[in-house]
Chains A and B, each alone.
Chain A
Amino acid sequence: MTDLLRILALWRGRTFWLAFGILISLAALACGAAMMALSGSMVAGVVTGAALAAPFALRVLGPARVVLRYLERLATHDATFRALADLRVWFFRGIATSSAGGLGFRRAGDVLARLVTDVEALDGIYLRILIPLAGAVLLLPVLAITIGQIDPLAAVAVLLLFAASAFGLPLLSARAAAGLGGRLSTTGSALRVACLDALHGLREVRAFSAEGRMLANVQACESNLLAAQHELSRRGAIAAAGAFLCAQVGILVVLLAAGAHPAQAALLVLLAVAAFEAVSGLPRAGVTAGQAAGAARRVLEAAEHGPAVPDPAPGAPLPKGSALRFEGVAFAWAADRAKVFDGLTIDIPQGARVALLGPSGAGKSTLAALALKVVAPQAGRVLLGGADIATLPAAEVRSRIGWLSQATHLFDDTIRGNLLLAKPDADDAALWAVLEAAQLGGVVRTLPDGLDTWIGEAGARLSGGQGRRLALARALLSTAPVLIFDEPCAGLDAETERAFLATLNEVAEGRTVVLIAHRLTGVERLDRIFRLSAGRAVAAAG
């Protein structure tokens, strides 16, 4: 629950709007309760003293309640939109600086997608938890004063029941939901993995006629998920039933007490009915809160992790040259994992075209991560233009090194929007020049919307080869003197791969090109070739 409070603290800047929403909602609630109580008193014929005032008051309260409810909806939704904008910007800034940037680097797209779902789960905190809770807090003294004046004993009983229904049971259901959170997410991801296995492996499944087995596996995983969901629904339903029962007993108490107070009997009962109805949704809000608490914990962990490689306090000036040198570098992703590099030394002179080859698992991508300061070596140094990059701010290092890999993302935006990311002030001529260089200009020209063509989610409206060429054009648009291509053709078929590598030979004249691959196709134009093995680099013949 402290995690939820920390999320609320993020919204400090919106205090006015959030409080305004709460105030209006309280006014609407008070209006509703007053209306119910007043109309009860009237029909009971006990307001003869104010025979004229009462109908008038009712005529005012009715419209007032409608108007207030309308304003409440507007105010609370407006506040929610403000809060969710803040939350997203904060989260984005957080993962941009924290190691989650490294997560993106390591193609953990699904981890990130799950975090986004968690952020989404936090949107309802204000509207679905805070607002009804504030209503309950307001109603508690109202009930205490109104009923307490008439019948203190009944008031104590009603207040206890009200507190149980508005605070106790929601707390219990929040606990239950939080406890089930782990089971829900493990069974949910098991189902996802089972489905992915069956579909990603469609060829294997057909070749080994495993359709029945795969379907049975998915069904078993689904049953586990449904069982977990059923348990959650059952606990939520029990909490809601408990709250309902509290309300019923409360009304019964008031009914029993009413006999002693004929004049206020109707007021008492209808006020109790209205009050309990107002908080009837809270146990369910408790379930939401329980789930949001888990989400809050994960979101805070990811966003407040801090950078993996802290920037030096006063950054050294950026050197003129851009020769890259790895000097006795040792690195392991975690203390308990095998070392990826141990005494790695490579020289990549400025303007050279170099290939680094190695089987998968030899740490080829780690090399790019080290050069880009996503991670720092545990021993040794990485030098850029002769300066240890540990002494340079990460942003400066990255401005010198362009990066293209399988994890390079194409955004659900236009071709122009994707390119401009590399250089926001580039003009159309510059965009066309890099598209031509990447041999994509012809294709883009035939598109009816040209540069303004929307490329779809992850470039879905482009073919695999076209997508990679667009990423190449973006890398070329940046003025970085060093370009690292990390398995740029992964996932492409052999023919497209060769065509892409042939294009690569023609571009980036004068820049340093580092091609990281598991093998060469023979079309690459290179100055030097290194082989990575046993954590070191060995020069290999071209």
Chain B
Amino acid sequence: MDTAKRTARLWLREQTKRGQRAARPAIALGLAGAAAAVVQAWCAAGALDAAIAGAAAPLGLLAGFAVLALLRTVLGLLAEQAAFRAGAAARRRLRTDALHRLLAAGPALLRGRHSGELASIVVDRIEALDGLFARYIPAAMLAVIAPALIVAVLLWFDGVAALILMGTGLLVPVAMALSGLGAAAASRSQFAALARLQARFLDRVRGIATIVMLGRAADEAVALGRAAEELRHRTMRVLRMAFLSSAALDLAAALALVVLALRAFAHGAAPGIALFELLLVPEFFAPLRVFAGAYQDRMQAVGASGPLAEMPPAPEPAPPLEIRTVEARGVSVAFETVNFTWDPARGPALNSLSFRVPAGETLVLAGPSGAGKSTVLEILLGFVHPDSGRVTLNGADIVTLVPAALSRLTAWIGQRPVLFAGTIRDNIRFARPEASDDEVAEAARFARVDGFAAGMQRGLDTQVGEGGFGLSGGQVQRVAIARAFLKNAPLLLLDEPTAHLDPVTEAEVLESLKRLTVGRTVILASHSAAAHAFGGRRLDLRDGTAAAPARGVA
């Protein structure tokens, strides 16, 4: 737990450092704005001074005020755009990096984690970091340098006033440290409390059907109200202390104004300088207020950083010399005493497994679930590498093949093929993006996709996948068969392709699959009786090893 927190902290520190470089334009523009504000305050004070003396307003100063007003407006606009760009660039960089790592880590990831959870890291967690880069980092820098600039300028006019301003300014961090809570604690407790309530609320809303069906909606509504009320009591107790630190900022600002005013009043100082000082007070404290407001953004970033810090490692670029491909006309497969373990606690998945499949032949892997059928296919797909032993395709060790070359050799149909958001046509073309329309249509015909698509209003252009038309299990398998046909790879890997189909659909899908096997090397994993009528040799697996010598099936 602690190491996880430390990793997250280190990661955030590293990101903050990068963010500081990216935030330079925003910081420079903010500083220029502060400088313009100082000069403008000087113009205003001068004009006022003249007015108090009953003189005509000096046009030069007023013109200066107007020009600086325009300049500050433009600088403000530019600073905001620069901040947005810094946030956008950081999100773009982090998202590409995260997705790159996840894609490189590959399908093995899905054994332990849910794709929805991973997607929410890539989308939501990274969105939540925007405030850190766009607001917090520039604000944190400006909270130090902008007040320093104002004090430096004021030193030149009135040393004592500058010291008063600096003293009250320093009061802010000192008071925060003394109160022992600080603005940090205020934001943190409020943020954490709200996050907890929100999580509970989301959980209950997601489970609304379960609650309604159990007849507990009224009770749960009351419980929700009670939880929120409790939360209010607890949070307000913390906030009563925590807001003291915000009060420190108010106190410092009020103190600066009152002390400067009283001092000028008592000494009968020149109104021009004194007014200049008063006008600088809000400018001096403005960056500190912005910083206090942006603290929330940092809290959000801390909350989001945990899972991002624990991404799988970035892939090493493939060594360019090791590119191996194999002759693509007919592929023979051999397993030589292969061992593989997913989880040491559950024993080996493959235990010294050896078998050969000559080019163009079919091997049916039989055996109960957990016997290692899927593991054999996942090794052949390159999702995982054997712990020991060799797997060869046409004699070449699979480990030496670059993923793209391996992918060219294999077509694969799993238990539940994934349809992507897009049309049925897009989903078939996924197998080979450069395929022509005719080739896609031929694949659809081969897999009898056109049959069920004809019944839909838009045919092959029907939207499927997330937010689209729901296809039945058998229809999805047909799309997968069309993909495999379009890809036209010499090695066909079938992982329980009919496990989730009803018997009638299973027979139909098997018939299409059988036509697909002609002229290819096929490995079919299945414990369905119907699939065993598929023909070819049969290998019974038990606990990751061949149970009996491979034998032919009538």
Contact = CB atoms under 8 A, between A and B. Distances in A.
B344 interface: no
A200 B408 CA distance: 22
Interface string A82-126: 101110110111011100111111000100110110011001000
Given A195-B119, A200-B115, A359-B473, A230 B88 contact: yes
Contact of A109 (B206, B247, B271, B504): B206
Given A45-B271, A197-B465, A262-B53, A215 B203 contact: no
B69 interface: yes
A120 to B, nearest CB: 6
A350 interface: no
Given A81-B231, A258-B48, A359-B473, A199 B122 contact: yes
Contacts of A527: none
Given A104-B208, A215-B103, A259-B56, A192 B430 contact: no
A66 interface: yes
A364 B217 CA distance: 26
B107 A202 contact: yes
Interface stretch (B74-82, B322-330, B356-364): B74-82
A518 B76 contact: no
Interface in B237-276: 239-240, 243-244, 246-247, 250-251, 254-255, 257-258, 260-262, 264-265, 268-269, 271, 274-275
A16 B205 CA distance: 29
Contacts of B458: none
B57 interface: yes
Given A104-B207, A256-B62, A202 B77 contact: no
The majority secondary structure among interface residues of chain A is: helix
B339 interface: no
Nearest to B266: A55
Contact of B215 (A54, A86, A230, A399): A399
Contacts, number: 397
Nearest to B475: A361
A265 interface: yes
Interface string A181-208: 0000000010111111111111111111
B243 A409 contact: no
B14 interface: no
B381 A206 contact: yes
Given A208-B487, A251-B44, A277 B282 contact: yes
Interface string B202-241: 1111111111111111111110110011011001100110
A270 B275 CA distance: 9
Contacts of B431: 208
B522 to A, nearest CB: 15
B206 A409 contact: yes
A95 B205 contact: yes
Interface in B427-445: 430-431, 433
A452 interface: no
Given A84-B228, A105-B209, A196-B466, A245 B264 contact: no
B369 A115 contact: no
B76 A240 contact: yes
B549 interface: no
A44 B275 contact: yes
Contacts of B228: 81, 84-85, 88-89
A198 B103 contact: yes
A219 B224 CA distance: 40
A57 B414 CA distance: 81
Contacts of A209: 403-404, 407-408
B103 A39 contact: no
Q: Determine which residue in A192, A240, A372 has the highest number of CB atoms from chain B within 10 A of its CB, and name it.
A: A192
A114 to B, nearest CB: 11
B382 A255 contact: no
Interface string B441-485: 000000000000000000000000111001111100000000100
The majority secondary structure among interface residues of chain B is: helix
B407 A69 contact: no
A66 B221 contact: no
Nearest to A210: B430
A234 interface: yes
A170 interface: no
Interface string A121-133: 0010000000000
A224 interface: no
A43 B278 contact: yes
Q: Determine which residue in A69, A89, A236 has the highest number of CB atoms from chain B within 10 A of its CB, and name it.
A: A89
Contact of B255 (A62, A200, A372): A62
B213 A85 contact: no
Contact of A81 (B92, B235, B282): B235
Given A89-B221, A89-B228, A207 B381 contact: yes
Contacts of A119: 201
Given A43-B271, A81-B232, A104-B206, A255 B44 contact: yes
B108 to A, nearest CB: 9
A411 B203 contact: yes
Contacts of B107: 202-203, 206
A166 to B, nearest CB: 17
Nearest to B279: A273
Interface in A391-415: 395, 398-399, 403, 407-412
Contacts of B246: 69-70, 73
A203 B430 contact: no
A360 B554 CA distance: 33
B209 A55 contact: no
B99 A198 contact: yes
B60 interface: no
Nearest to B69: A248
Contacts of B66: 248, 252
Nearest to B204: A92
Given A66-B247, A113-B202, A359 B208 contact: no
Interface in A211-266: 211, 213-215, 218-219, 222, 226, 229-230, 233-234, 236-238, 240-241, 244-245, 248-249, 251-252, 255-256, 258-259, 261-262, 265-266
Contacts of A360: 470, 472-473
A48 B341 CA distance: 90
B369 to A, nearest CB: 4
A536 to B, nearest CB: 16
B47 interface: yes
A518 B203 contact: no
Given A35-B257, A219-B96, A240-B76, A81 B265 contact: no
Contacts of B404: 209
A366 interface: no
Contact of B229 (A85, A421, A458): A85
A478 B275 contact: no
A206 B407 contact: yes
A533 B251 CA distance: 76
A332 interface: no
A78 B232 contact: yes
A265 B52 contact: yes
Given A109-B206, A408-B209, 15 more contacts: A39-B258, A39-B260, A95-B205, A97-B217, A101-B209, A192-B119, A204-B420, A211-B104, A214-B99, A237-B76, A241-B77, A259-B57, A265-B48, A266-B48, A395-B215
11 contacts: A35-B254, A55-B262, A66-B247, A92-B201, A116-B205, A123-B194, A193-B465, A226-B92, A229-B84, A258-B48, A360-B472
Task: Give the top 8 A-B pairs by smallest Cβ distance, nearest first.
Answer: A409-B207, A85-B228, A104-B209, A39-B261, A248-B69, A209-B407, A96-B217, A43-B274
Interface of A: 35-36, 38-40, 42-46, 54-55, 58-59, 61-63, 65-66, 69-70, 73-74, 77-78, 81-82, 84-86, 88-89, 91-93, 95-97, 100-105, 109, 112-113, 115-116, 119-120, 123, 189, 191-211, 213-215, 218-219, 222, 226, 229-230, 233-234, 236-238, 240-241, 244-245, 248-249, 251-252, 255-256, 258-259, 261-262, 265-266, 269-270, 273, 277, 357-361, 372, 374, 395, 398-399, 403, 407-412, 421-422, 424, 457-458, 478, 493-495, 518-519
